[in-house]
A and B are shown apart, each in its own frame.
Chain A
Amino acid sequence: MLKVLFKIIKVLAVVWVVLFTVFFFDLDGKFLYYVWEPMMIKRFDNMKRPDLTGTPYERKEPV
């Protein structure tokens, strides 16, 4: 039982150290800035979009 408890504590400690490293060295920000955002920009720039300026503009029924 105690062995399992120590194992859990050990895993939690490792997770804590990893997360604190990500936090302290702003690794989340660096990932989003250098990897994620350029990828998204590329995706949205290449996305096919309908030309909405072709939508007819007609007089509507009063509501």
Chain B
Amino acid sequence: MSERTIKETAAERAKAAKNAAKAAASKLRHADYKKAAESVREKARTFDIKKAARDFWYGKPHEERRLGDLYIGNTGLYKHREWRGFKDTMYYFHMIWLYNYVHMVTDILSGDDPLSFFAGTMRYRWMGQTYLTVMHWFDRGLEGLRGPALAASAWHYRGMTNETIRQFMRMFAADKKLHGGKENKYWKNTIAHDETVSGNIFYPWRDVMDDVALQMIPYFVTCHVNNHTVLNYIDAMQSIGLPADPCPMCQAEAGIFVLDDYPDYSPVMVTSNEACDGSVATSVIQDWFLNRPLFAMPQPMRFDDPLVQKHCQEEIEECWKFVEEQTGHPFNWEEYKKHAESFNKLTDFEHEKWDVAANTPYYPINGVAQALYRIYYSQDGDRPIWHFVDAHVRKIMNKTVKNKIVTFPKTRHRAIAWSCAPLYYSNWCTWAYNCWGINTIINMDSLMFDQYLRTDTYEHALEDLATFNELAPMRSMAVGGHEHIFRLWEFMEKFNCDFVVMYDQLQCKGMQGIHGMFEDEFRKRNIHAVWVPHALPDKRTVSRKEIRKIISDYMYTVMHEEPLDPSLVDFDDSESW
């Protein structure tokens, strides 16, 4: 979005609010009160008190909810939040909305330098404009959910919110730009790294330093929470001469630097090729603007080759040497072991979750919570919040399995989502379930980096860490060779799915190359698959409305099905977060 358009949008919003107020006043002045009274009398005559009481207590049945009627115009705001029945509405109000607002404050207060929150909010667009709208991110992802599915999915969102706050508070505490150029103790003891360089790599220093991914908070998470912000960074990059067709993720990450909207929180940078080789240029630009010691640790393309594995191990060791030399802190094997073993516990629970998801209808986590939580914690590495969340989710999942609670009772199709998802519409699967009964059981991002980290010997640890690094996001099953991308068929069977939602990132040259082969395979195997085109963070290329239309068209014309909630088939959310 250009600067001019953004200003226009702000003015338009203020104008729209003013017009709405004027229209409401005019409506009140010119209302036909006799007709209104007659309508009220008619409603009173046909009012079914038993049904109203049932709807109040249990919430409306799925087919009567009309969730699309709750939206205000194209804003994505609600006339009112959904009434989910007494128990679930109270749960949402107390345990999700209120709980998270309160804990956001306590998370900020427990940061390294709480006052820097205000300075950061006023300094960085990705903070001031984006993250305060976080509760709407919850709303969009959790629409229509009930009971254990609502609770378990919300815990996943809570984990991500807490970890996001922890990371930006560390950035702000260390940020030279917020501290008059001073290199304070936090700055000296924080390692900046690319968001696709795994947090696992830095376990040996977790007791003396912190590691924070550079783009995770200013770019990646913002696209999910409020996708207005990222457009500035994409446009900034193009404004200095980049053509519009490279991956918009790389464009946005580089654009943050063009606009000087990155916090300066570390003396060093460990970067990568972000698994996608188009992103190498991003690292070059970051190297230019950061202008400090930088270690490049690219993830290899053909990672099955044992020689490549050996090379990858050597690179990790070189990276460790680089950190030791630059920071003066020695490698601590015991610290690595402690966190690797703790991380393995998260992997253990992930396998338990997959078992329930694959073999029962009792899995209490919806598609978007599963996808975002898994990729977030796997990249971030071992942190206390993930264990806290998993303990809560385990309790809920044990209950649903023990009591045989069908968590998504309107499931018509068990879907697997493959390839890289649209960041500006990660909650499409919530919509797809509410509207069509398409329940996204699992997705590609969840299945990557499925790797235990052995700690019995240094050699084993290095070997596993190298494999983990090679299975980075977008590498193992997107641009890591067709044999890995085609593992779709294996996982479809494993998770008992009958439907594929195939993401089509229009600006990913790697995945575009294999599009035709997928088409052939879908036909040959007689699999129902919908192609969902998108441009990762950029909602202007394929809008959310267009994505919904593509899915709905398929459901009408190929599946010959009718929507569960017709109000969700066609609505405008072009200006929503």
Contact = CB atoms under 8 A, between A and B. Distances in A.
Interface of A: 19-20, 23-26, 28-30, 32-34, 36-38, 40-45, 49-50, 52-53, 55, 57, 60, 63
A63 B322 contact: yes
Contact of B326 (A23, A28, A60, A63): A63
Contacts of A19: 93, 98
Contacts, number: 90
Q: Is the interface of B mostly helix, strand, loop or mixed?
A: helix
Interface of B: 3, 6-7, 9-11, 13-14, 17, 75, 77-81, 93, 97-98, 122, 125, 128-129, 132-133, 135-136, 139, 228, 232, 240, 257-261, 288-289, 291, 293-295, 322, 325-326, 577
A63 B133 contact: no
Contacts of B295: 63
A29 B133 contact: yes
B260 A30 contact: no
Contacts of B322: 63
A40 B125 contact: yes
A15 to B, nearest CB: 11
Given A25-B80, A41-B9, A44-B129, A52 B122 contact: no
A1 to B, nearest CB: 28
Contact of A42 (B10, B133, B228): B10
Given A25-B80, A33-B77, A49 B260 contact: yes
Contacts of A50: 260
Given A29-B78, A55-B291, A63-B293, A45 B3 contact: yes
Nearest to A53: B240
Contact of B13 (A29, A38, A53, A60): A38
A40 B10 CA distance: 9
B6 A29 contact: no
Contact of A20 (B14, B93, B260): B93
5 contacts: A33-B13, A34-B14, A34-B17, A52-B257, A52-B289
Contacts of B6: 41, 45
Nearest to A30: B77
Nearest to A63: B293
Q: Closest 9 A-B residue pairs measured CB to CB?
A: A38-B10, A44-B125, A26-B78, A40-B129, A49-B260, A40-B128, A41-B10, A34-B17, A57-B288
A60 B81 CA distance: 55
Contacts of A57: 288
Nearest to A37: B129
A41 B129 contact: yes
Contacts of A43: 122, 128
A29 B294 CA distance: 41
Q: Is the interface of A mostly helix, strand, loop or mixed?
A: helix
B129 A28 contact: no
B135 A28 contact: yes
Nearest to A44: B125
B260 A24 contact: no
Given A24-B80, A43-B122, A63-B293, A32 B75 contact: no
Contacts of B288: 55, 57
Given A50-B260, A53-B258, A55-B289, A45 B7 contact: yes
Nearest to B7: A45
A56 B79 CA distance: 52
Given A45-B3, A53-B240, A57-B288, A34 B13 contact: yes
A43 to B, nearest CB: 7
B325 A29 contact: no
Contacts of B133: 29, 32-33, 37
A60 B260 CA distance: 22
B21 to A, nearest CB: 11
A63 B376 CA distance: 30
A23 B93 CA distance: 7
A23 B289 contact: no
B542 to A, nearest CB: 23
Contacts of A23: 81, 93, 97-98
A50 B257 CA distance: 11
A26 B11 CA distance: 22
Given A33-B77, A38-B10, A41-B7, A49 B259 contact: yes
Q: Which of A24, A25, A36 has the most CB of B within 10 A?
A: A24
Given A26-B78, A41-B7, 7 more contacts: A33-B77, A34-B13, A44-B129, A52-B258, A52-B289, A55-B289, A57-B288
Contact of B132 (A26, A32, A41): A32
Q: Which of A28, A30, A44, A53 has the most CB of B within 10 A?
A: A44
Contacts of B79: 25-26
Contacts of B81: 23-26
A34 B72 CA distance: 12
A38 to B, nearest CB: 4
B103 to A, nearest CB: 15
Q: Which of A34, A42, A49, A60 has the most CB of B within 10 A?
A: A34
Nearest to A45: B3
Nearest to B14: A38
A24 B84 CA distance: 11
A38 B125 CA distance: 12
Contacts of B13: 33-34, 37-38
B7 A42 contact: yes
B128 A44 contact: yes
Contacts of B14: 34, 38
A30 B75 CA distance: 10
A24 B98 CA distance: 12
